[in-house]
Amino acid sequence: MQNKTQSRDVFYVSDGTAITCETLGHVVLGQFSFECNERTFPFVETEDKLNELLKEIHHSYQSKGIMPLVFYSIVVPTIRDALTQAPINGYDVIGPFVESVSSDTGVKPKPKLQRSRSVGRDSKNYFDRIAAIEYTLAHDDGVTLKGFEEADIILLGVSRSGKTPTSLYMAMQFGLRVVNYPFIAEDMASMRLLPEFEIHRHKLFGLTIDAERLNKIRENRLSGSDYASAEQCSIELKTVEALFRREAIPYINTTALSVEEISTRILEKVGLKRRLF
């Protein structure tokens, strides 16, 4: 009898980037307690790529004795058919939706490889996103206090509270220009908003985190330092959160949130629209 808690091999397969498969797969598998050994196979659109994938699938099945879970999005019929005939538990992440939309609208789909449409018909969106990423990288971690008039949002918080990954995610996914600025130990004695932030107050948003979690993150980075000490983490967080409350800066606690959840909650609270690509 199969052990229900046994780890499972999980493959995300696509003739595109496989990001959609990964995203949906993570949401679905998050509902189950078994451990997942995940691998991603993007751009499976040739016989060579298909054979490489099938080899890995058969190895997984033979070595574990159970079929791997495969979340897939494949347009080319011959590749899709070969995959579904392999020893897998397969989940087509777009097929059912395509069929439903076709049935509801009476319009037949025209399958095409899942390439980004940004370069070409939507080239402006593509270059807007690249500009947003470049802007966000240039304004990461307080590198410069110039050009804030171009920012969509300015993230404030102590070091290691999640500002950089959130900034980059918002730039890459939504094309937003994000500034992030860290309050450091030297700021604690006279915590105040810099003049550069005062004139862009409506763009400010704070990130905070539980002291215990911050202590663990910093210990992994600089073990045994004053910077990573539990006392320093607690002092910095209390001081910065007091600033947020005093200056009426909206903020959220990132401790139990993924970067996707942090970004979505920020957009919801400040009313920024997603710029999807």
253 falls within a domain: yes
Number of domains in the chain: 2
- 166 closest CA partner among 258, 65, 248: 258
- The residues, any chain, with a CB within 8 Å of residue 58's CB and separated by 6 or more, are 86, 87
Say if residue 101 is in the same domain as residue 133: no
Report the alpha-carbon distance of residue 146 to residue 193 in Å, rounded: 15
- 115 closest CA partner among 43, 21, 28, 207: 43
**The pLDDT of residue 125:** 74
- Asked which of 105, 132, 152 is the last residue of a domain, the reply is 105
* Helices 77-84 and 47-64, packing angle to 10 deg: 10
2 falls within a domain: no
Say if residue 142 is in the same domain as residue 221: yes
The token duo for 13 is 């397969």
- Asked which of 105, 139, 166 is the last residue of a domain, the reply is 105
**The pLDDT of residue 113:** 63
Report the alpha-carbon distance of residue 205 to residue 157 in Å, rounded: 9
**The pLDDT of residue 19:** 83
- The residues, any chain, with a CB within 8 Å of residue 213's CB and separated by 6 or more, are 255
User: What backbone torsions phi and psi does residue 179 show, to the nearest 5 degrees?
Assistant: -100, 140
Question: Quick one: how far is CA 237 from the chain centroid?
Answer: 25
Residue by residue, pLDDT tens for the chain (277 residues) are 455 667 899 999 999 888 889 989 988 998 998 899 999 999 998 999 999 999 999 999 999 999 999 999 998 889 999 999 999 999 999 888 888 998 999 998 877 665 544 444 456 777 888 899 999 999 999 999 999 999 999 999 999 999 999 999 999 888 999 999 999 888 888 889 999 999 999 999 999 999 999 999 999 989 999 999 999 999 999 999 999 999 999 999 999 999 989 999 999 899 887 665 5
Say if residue 161 is in the same domain as residue 24: no
**The pLDDT of residue 2:** 56
Say if residue 60 is in the same domain as residue 167: no
Say if residue 143 is in the same domain as residue 38: no
Say if residue 162 is in the same domain as residue 252: yes
The domain of 43 spans: 8-105
277 falls within a domain: no
